[in-house]
Amino acid sequence: MSLALGAIADDYTGASDLANTLAKEGLRTVQTIGIPAAGLDLPEVDAVVVSLKIRSVAAAQAVERARAADQWLRARGAAHVMYKICSTFDSTDAGNIGPVLDALRHDVDEKSVLVTPAFPETGRTVYQGNLFVGAVPLNESPLKDHPLNPMRDANLVRVLARQSMAAVGSVDLATVARGADAIRARNAALSQDGAGAAIADAVFESDLEAIGAAALAQRLSVGASGLGLGLARGLVAAGTARRHQRTVLRERPVEGPAACLAGSCSRATLTQIARAEETMPVLRLDPERLMSGVAETHRALAWAAARLADGPVLIASSGSPEVVSALQARHGRDAAGHAIEQSLATIAEGLVELGVRRLV
């Protein structure tokens, strides 16, 4: 088996989004959780998305895991590997997008690789190197307040340059509109000037198609699921992969108690929690108590046990930006994030032990 496309995702949900995008574009796609075993027997597929959890870990650990995933994909014949990142470019000045890009680029001897987190379908566009959420720059949108990776600068050339060892250039929209050859020529010129990455503008789906076609001339690209769309269409157009009819396995619906866990602090999630309170039991966890031990997780499970028989429940650790900032100031950003993540994992395990069979 020789893969038409390999992908390394920096988190699980983003990996699922990319796998779904590739499947919708007709590529037979498999998603793995973690780096597969060397002898994993796969069906005949076009693409494999390796799901990692490296977005917010130490940069050295992220690089090590991404390199191992890349080696696995290359061993399966993947001529092109996409490093899948968040469409809001979630990272800090310490990484991890820059360090992983630098390492993977070095390993395949690419001078400058194309980078775009754009996905117009979800309102993420890049213009003049700046990332927009809807009609506003990222740093003016509600998504700027990510608890682990706050984004205070919409200019991706600056953001990536602060975390990469090489210079960063850009491919403007006028160049992208002229097509794949123009994009490749601009990227080649940037590489001659010492750039290691080129932020590509993309406002329309056709821009993603052009960027994807251009990127396939190299062994590596970096972007969100929108880039995956462009790569998939480029592979089909080039005849490297055939567009397959998407099939859905229809099985008996899962029955049993249902529960939802919410940990995102985005404005959209906070709105969804408030709406859920109108129709179902909702428990808002106390973040400070989550930091101090297991009492809050025990309270959550006891609360759920008393209500699951009556219908779905929702347990949320989500808080406003002000609450998150105060918690991080007292305990540290990484410590607070880790404690809440572990608490939600413990609650999820406990809910399954209580009989929950539908967990969101």
Q: How many angstroms separate the CA atoms of 245 and 227, rounded? A: 21
Report if residue 250 sits inside a domain: no
Report if residue 349 sits inside a domain: yes
Report if residue 10 sits inside a domain: yes
What is the predicted pLDDT for the residue at 230? 99
Q: How many angstroms separate the CA atoms of 199 and 207, rounded? A: 13
Report if residue 189 sits inside a domain: yes
Do 158 and 277 share a domain, yes or no? Answer: no
The pTM score is 0.89
Query: CB within 8 A of 1, min separation 6: which ones?
Result: 42, 44, 45, 76, 77
CB 120 within 8 A of CB 226: yes
Domain end marker among 177, 203, 238: 238
Q: How many angstroms separate the CA atoms of 102 and 105, rounded? A: 5
Computed on alpha carbons and rounded to an integer, the radius of gyration of the chain in Å comes to 21
Do 264 and 135 share a domain, yes or no? Answer: no
Report if residue 120 sits inside a domain: yes
Angle of CA points 341, 259, 325, to nearest 5°: 35
Do 190 and 312 share a domain, yes or no? Answer: no
Total domains in the chain come to: 2
Do 178 and 83 share a domain, yes or no? Answer: yes
pLDDT by residue for the chain (360 residues), tens only, comes to 689 999 999 999 999 999 999 999 999 999 999 999 988 988 899 999 999 999 989 999 999 999 999 999 999 999 999 999 999 999 988 889 999 999 999 999 999 999 999 999 999 999 999 999 999 999 999 887 777 778 889 999 999 999 999 999 999 999 999 999 999 999 999 999 999 999 999 999 999 999 999 999 999 999 999 999 999 999 999 999 999 986 555 567 889 999 999 998 888 899 999 999 999 999 999 999 999 889 999 999 999 999 999 999 999 999 888 888 899 889 988 788 889 999 999 999 999 999 999 999
Do 299 and 191 share a domain, yes or no? Answer: no
Report if residue 34 sits inside a domain: yes
> Which CATH number fits the domain that encloses residue 49?
3.40.50.10840
What is the predicted pLDDT for the residue at 265? 87
> Which CATH number fits the domain that encloses residue 296?
3.40.980.20
How is 51-79 classified by DSSP, letter by letter?
A: E---SSS-HHHHHHHHHHHHHHHHHTT-S
Do 263 and 129 share a domain, yes or no? Answer: no
What is the predicted pLDDT for the residue at 212? 99
What range does the domain containing 281 cover? 258-359
CB 27 within 8 A of CB 241: yes
What is the predicted pLDDT for the residue at 9? 99
Report if residue 36 sits inside a domain: yes
Report if residue 249 sits inside a domain: no
Do 37 and 184 share a domain, yes or no? Answer: yes
